[in-house]
Structure 1
Amino acid sequence: MAHVPHPLTQYVQRLVQRVRAVDERRPLVWDLLVTGFFVTAGGIDFAGGGWRNVAHNQDVPGWLVLTTSLGLALPLLWRRRHPMAALAVMVAFGTLNSGTGAMLQVSLVQLIVLFNIALRLPLRTLGGAGALMLVPLLVGTVRYPKGSWDQQIVPQVWAYTLIALLGIAVRSRQDYTQALVERARQLEVERDQQAQLAAAAERTRIAREMHDIIGHNLSVITGLADGGKYAAAKSPEHAAKALDAIGSTSRQALAELRRLLDVLRDDAPEAAALAPQPALTDLTRLIDGVRSAGLPVRTTVRGRPDALPQGQELTVYRVVQEALTNTLKHGGPGATAAVELSYADDGVTVTVTDTGRAAPPPSASARDGRGLTGMRERTALYAGTLETGPRPLPATGWEVRLHLPGTTAPPHATAPKETAQ
């Protein structure tokens, strides 16, 4: 059960907060009010003759009493900007007050300056201020001894000490509060930065997925459309098959795009999370689609494809997809491609080569743009390596080689399986 503060405590806290608010907004006005109050109190004490009730010497001239009273009260106006100078002036008039035996009560305002010094200045300055305040006390004790020394000095020293400790306590509380406020501000900044980083990472992931989905399927559709255009005049049956393949590829791309966009919906996040991601079992359908677009692809699998983490399977799928898409775009007429998957103890290795152009045209940036960046980002997630570039001479074409480390079972001694079309 939460602790509920007492109504009186709440009232005092609200009152203190209001006073602090006024002090922070208009410090000069507050200083004038405080100084004016004590100047008025000292003037009333002088005019009414009340100071004689506690004075050791009632024959002190009136002008001297008034001057001493003003000298003790007026320095309060500079207690913030020049606290030690204000205290020095007060101590001088306080010494005059004790030495003449007037013993004006307005001399207690020195405690306000002492509190400000403890609140704002270093502790070594506070020690010097305390020693300075002992001068009027010692002068009054020597000039007008009354009882033992400890009866005159010790109570005053205790009062100075308590005021100094109060200033230190308030200062510690303020420092602690400021530290909490600064920590809260830093946490807020870090939270905003984390949110921005998370949003940027999510935008990058979505852009990468959309590039892989839309870029590949549009390349396949473009190849099918070009093939169907040439086949329409000579072989209507082949043209119809191309149109069917275009429709199937378009529907597949639309389904994947909808699944990706569902992630952005707030009303159905769970359904989006349940949608399956492409895996190694979908490579056959991917390669068949590329072949139907007019690119001959030969596949080779070495070793036994043991189970890989879903993320690694998606990385392999996307790298193969992007490499074949680039061949469709930039390989040129008559290009062929080969996909080789090798499973071993140290992980899985994928090599995609083609016999097209050794380098993309100057206007093309797919092999060194968002597609390559996406492949590198996916590879880095699993501490893998990715190598891309022209094939070594005398061969022509482009090569993409991906290696993802992992702990897989030893490959079985089986002959490599090849599929070509």
Structure 2
Amino acid sequence: MQRIYAWLRGHPLVVDAMIVLPVLLLSAAQVHDDDATPAGRVRYGLWVLVVLHSLGASLRRVRPRTAFGLVMLGSAGQLVVSSEIMMTSIAVPMALYTAAKIGSPRRVRLALVCVFAVPGLYFARWGASVNLDVREGAFVYSFIAITLGIAWVLGDSMRTRRAYYAELEERATRLEFERDQQALIAAAAERSRIARELHDVVAHNVSVIVVQADGASRAIATSPDKAREALETIAKTGREALVEMRRLLGVLRAQNETEGLVPQPSLRHLDDLVDQVGRAGLSVRVVVEGEPIDPSRTVALTAYRIIQEALTNTRKHAGPTAGAEVLVGYRRDALEVRVRDDGRGAQAPGDGMGHGLIGMRERVAMLGGRLDIGPDPDGGWAVHAVLPYGSTRGVPVPATRSTLGKRTGS
């Protein structure tokens, strides 16, 4: 059955010709009826009308403009040839329906004019010869006009319906395109986030490994114990880096494969970070101001990453004897983080190829905070960030050893 419907939709000319064929045969019989049809030129004129209407009805879906013109030409010929209405005059409502359905707005308005003009012109031309009084003429006129009007209304409603469906399809296509674009943007943002996380993990831990490896290579001949301790630090740092990298790369897996991963670091892990950089040889002092609270996960992660990146840069660029101070201030509306060192400051060398500072700015901008990076007036380098808490300030947490302030390192 579906094949039949598909074939019928694919061959509109054949279908319309098959519909018109019986009407054409009836009209041919009507023309040949000597009692009902006059002879001579009038009969030939009726044949022309039959042919024009039949062609118009057959071509209405494949050549709608041509079909409408043929039917209107045949209707105009009706006013000249005879008052006899042929069976093929059914092509008039068919052409009006098609014109209102698939025609342009101008053609639709023209078809609406024809709804009322065609029967009016017919009765103006042949009203006296068909022997109809005023009441009968009004009835016949109304019947013809209503028939043509119904054809026009059906065609116009189909045109409106098609336009509505076309608009829905266009909207669905646009929404699908926007959805795909949003997915691409989200994927790019996620890749950028993972790149920042990987940079933080790799840059921090690899710098610790490099420092410890250099110290071990220098101390292996004179101080085997210190060299062994440095190698143990390298091994521990490498394992921690692998754990964090596995967690970050796990984001790329399916959602059901990411359960049970190690949680994101926060300020609760600040002591471990300080211990780690202390083992790498960097002297760090931590100062906590205000009542410690547990901010949102995003704020805590951002603060941790800023401190981690700042200490990594201190270890890389400030010099071998430099020390650092980390300030974590729990203010009323925002978390303040300041990391400053007493190293080389603006004179520190840099390769300009890292993404750490960019990552800091993006993280702070995401929270609507403020970030200042540059040489400290008292010497060295300073990183100062203010991170708004947002709608939820957080809850107090028990004090840790970081709240007391300390200085670690050798």
Which interval holds the TM-score relative to the shorter structure? 0.7 to 0.9
Structure 1 residues 410 and 108 mapped into 2: Cα distance closer, same or farther (>3 Å)?
closer
One-letter amino acid of the structure 1 residue matched with residue 139 of structure 2: Q
Q: Cα distance, 1:372 vs. partner?
A: 1.6
SS of equivalent residue, structure 1 residue 159: helix
**Residues 49-88 of structure 1 mapped to structure 2, 5 A cutoff:** 49=30, 52=33, 55=36, 57-59=37-39, 61=41, 62-75=43-56, 77=59, 80-82=64-66, 85-88=69-72
Q: CA RMSD in A?
A: 3.0
Which residue does 2:126 correspond to in 1?
A: 140
- TM-score, length basis structure 1: 0.82
Contact 2:326–2:338 (CA under 8 A) maintained in structure 1? yes
Contact 2:296–2:394 (CA under 8 A) maintained in structure 1? no
Q: Cα distance, 1:259 vs. partner?
A: 2.1
SS of equivalent residue, structure 1 residue 263: helix
Structure 1 residues 389 and 330 mapped into 2: Cα distance closer, same or farther (>3 Å)?
same
Q: Cα distance, 1:323 vs. partner?
A: 0.7
One-letter amino acid of the structure 2 residue matched with residue 133 of structure 1: V
Q: State the alpha-carbon separation in 2 of the partners of residues 149 and 161 from structure 1.
A: 18
**Residues 178-197 of structure 1 mapped to structure 2, 5 A cutoff:** 178-197=166-185
Residue number among 207, 220, 240 corresponding to 2:228 in the alignment: 240
Deviations 1:82-136 (A, max 9, x none): 5664454132122234xx2332222221222211221123253332222342223
Q: Cα distance, 1:216 vs. partner?
A: 0.6
Asked if residue 19 in structure 1 is aligned to residue 4 in structure 2, the reply is no
One-letter amino acid of the structure 1 residue matched with residue 252 of structure 2: L
Which residue does 1:167 correspond to in 2?
A: 155
One-letter amino acid of the structure 2 residue matched with residue 284 of structure 1: D
Structure 2: which 5+ residue stretches go unaligned? 398-402
SS of equivalent residue, structure 1 residue 224: helix
Residue number among 364, 377, 388 corresponding to 2:373 in the alignment: 388
Q: Cα distance, 1:360 vs. partner?
A: 5.2
Q: State the alpha-carbon separation in 1 of the partners of residues 219 and 298 from structure 2.
A: 40
Q: Cα distance, 1:316 vs. partner?
A: 0.9
Residue number among 386, 397, 415 corresponding to 2:380 in the alignment: 397
Which residue does 2:405 correspond to in 1?
A: 418
One-letter amino acid of the structure 2 residue matched with residue 405 of structure 1: P
- TM-score, length basis structure 2: 0.84
Contact 1:379–1:385 (CA under 8 A) maintained in structure 2? yes
Which residue does 1:326 correspond to in 2?
A: 313
Contact 1:356–1:398 (CA under 8 A) maintained in structure 2? yes
Deviations 1:128-163 (A, max 9, x none): 222342223542333322452123212111110111
Q: Cα distance, 1:214 vs. partner?
A: 1.3
SS of equivalent residue, structure 1 residue 402: strand
Structure 1 residues 408 and 35 mapped into 2: Cα distance closer, same or farther (>3 Å)?
closer
Asked if residue 312 in structure 1 is aligned to residue 299 in structure 2, the reply is yes
Residue number among 229, 238, 249 corresponding to 1:261 in the alignment: 249
SS of equivalent residue, structure 2 residue 352: coil
Q: State the alpha-carbon separation in 1 of the partners of residues 275 and 125 from structure 2.
A: 107
SS of equivalent residue, structure 2 residue 379: coil
Residue number among 115, 122, 130 corresponding to 2:115 in the alignment: 130
Which residue does 1:27 correspond to in 2?
A: none
Q: State the alpha-carbon separation in 2 of the partners of residues 87 and 360 from structure 1.
A: 90
Which residue does 2:288 correspond to in 1?
A: 301
Q: State the alpha-carbon separation in 1 of the partners of residues 162 and 173 from structure 2.
A: 16
Which residue does 1:26 correspond to in 2?
A: none
Q: Count matched residues.
A: 388
Q: State the alpha-carbon separation in 1 of the partners of residues 200 and 11 from structure 2.
A: 62
One-letter amino acid of the structure 2 residue matched with residue 383 of structure 1: G
Contact 1:72–1:93 (CA under 8 A) maintained in structure 2? no
Q: Cα distance, 1:245 vs. partner?
A: 0.8
Q: Cα distance, 1:402 vs. partner?
A: 1.0
One-letter amino acid of the structure 1 residue matched with residue 38 of structure 2: Q
Q: Cα distance, 1:404 vs. partner?
A: 1.2
One-letter amino acid of the structure 2 residue matched with residue 264 of structure 1: L
Structure 1 residues 362 and 343 mapped into 2: Cα distance closer, same or farther (>3 Å)?
closer
Which residue does 1:282 correspond to in 2?
A: 269
Which residue does 1:250 correspond to in 2?
A: 238
Contact 2:100–2:111 (CA under 8 A) maintained in structure 1? yes
